[in-house]
């Protein structure tokens, strides 16, 4: 019989917290079961596999990140919202490295729940960018650039790649400011012509 109060969501939450401590790919079912105070076979009442557990961690992480971005941007607009959202994104990613890694896992085809939380997090960014009156492909380009800019910085930072003496916070502030400046001119940026072969 499952331990009282233990369910799939609780297992995923505990797994996410443990993964942040030991690493997503270092997390084991045996260690998770011990943390939960149950025998390992009992875990299979709440998960179907390690891959399934990673999927559940990803869903929780994407939902959490979307909520963090929404809270950071509420009541703000334009550059203020972009800056607040950027700093909230980085802070969350640095505090939750395994969850952040999981948040970047693509949903499996047909996984409606995972697709929904993935879209919801991106929608927060899209809503903030409406202040710049971008439409169609211009809006898509800006969303992709924003996500890529933040992910690239965070990925290098968490990998320990920023070893020069310049302050990392200062570099991040300038990166965000540069993106905001670019957004002001986004619609005027020339679209490259397709390469001819």
How many helical (H) and strand (E) elements, i.e. helices and strands, does the chain have? Answer: 9, 0
69 in any annotated domain: yes
What are the C-alpha distances in Å from 169 to residues 89, 91, 164, 177, 182?
Answer: 13, 11, 13, 12, 20
What are the C-alpha distances in Å from 176 to residues 95, 97, 161?
Answer: 19, 21, 19
Grade residue 189 by pLDDT with cuts at 50, 70 and 90: confident
Structurally, the chain folds into a number of domains equal to 1
The whole-angstrom separation of Cα 50 and Cα 90 is 27
26 in any annotated domain: no
67 in any annotated domain: yes
Question: pLDDT digit string (tens) for 5-40?
Answer: 789 999 999 999 999 999 999 999 999 999 999 999
10 in any annotated domain: no
Does residue 1 have a pLDDT over 60?
no
Under a CB-based contact definition with an 8 Å cutoff, are residues 40 and 29 in contact?
yes
Which of 5, 53, 1 has its CA nearest to residue 29?
Answer: 53
Average pLDDT of the chain?
Answer: 92
20 in any annotated domain: no
Grade residue 191 by pLDDT with cuts at 50, 70 and 90: confident
Window from 67-81, 104-118, 136-150, 153-167 with minimum mean pLDDT: 153-167
Residue 116 phi, psi dihedral angles, 5° rounding: -65, -45
84 in any annotated domain: yes
Can you give the CATH number for the domain in which 137 is found? 1.10.357.10
The boundaries of the domain holding residue 141 are: 58-187
């Amino acid at each position: 019989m499952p331990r009282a109060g233990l369910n799939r969501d609780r297992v995923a939450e505990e797994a996410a917290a443990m993964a942040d401590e030991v690493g997503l790919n270092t997390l084991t079912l045996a260690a998770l079961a011990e943390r939960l105070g149950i025998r390992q076979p009992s875990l299979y009442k709440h998960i179907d596999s390690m891959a399934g557990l990673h999927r559940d961690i990803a869903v929780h992480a994407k939902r959490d990140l979307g909520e963090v971005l929404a809270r950071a941007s509420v009541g703000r607009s334009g550059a203020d919202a972009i800056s607040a959202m950027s700093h909230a994104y980085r802070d969350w990613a640095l505090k939750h490295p395994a969850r952040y890694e999981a948040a970047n896992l693509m949903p499996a085809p047909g996984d409606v729940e995972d697709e929904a939380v993935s879209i919801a997090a991106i929608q927060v960014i899209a809503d903030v960018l409406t202040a710049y009156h971008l439409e169609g492909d211009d809006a898509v380009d800006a969303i992709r650039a924003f996500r890529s800019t933040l992910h690239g910085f965070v990925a290098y930072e968490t990998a320990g790649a920023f070893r020069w003496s310049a302050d990392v916070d200062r570099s991040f502030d300038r990166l965000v400011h540069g993106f905001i400046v670019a957004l002001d001119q986004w619609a005027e940026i020339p679209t490259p012509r397709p390469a001819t072969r």
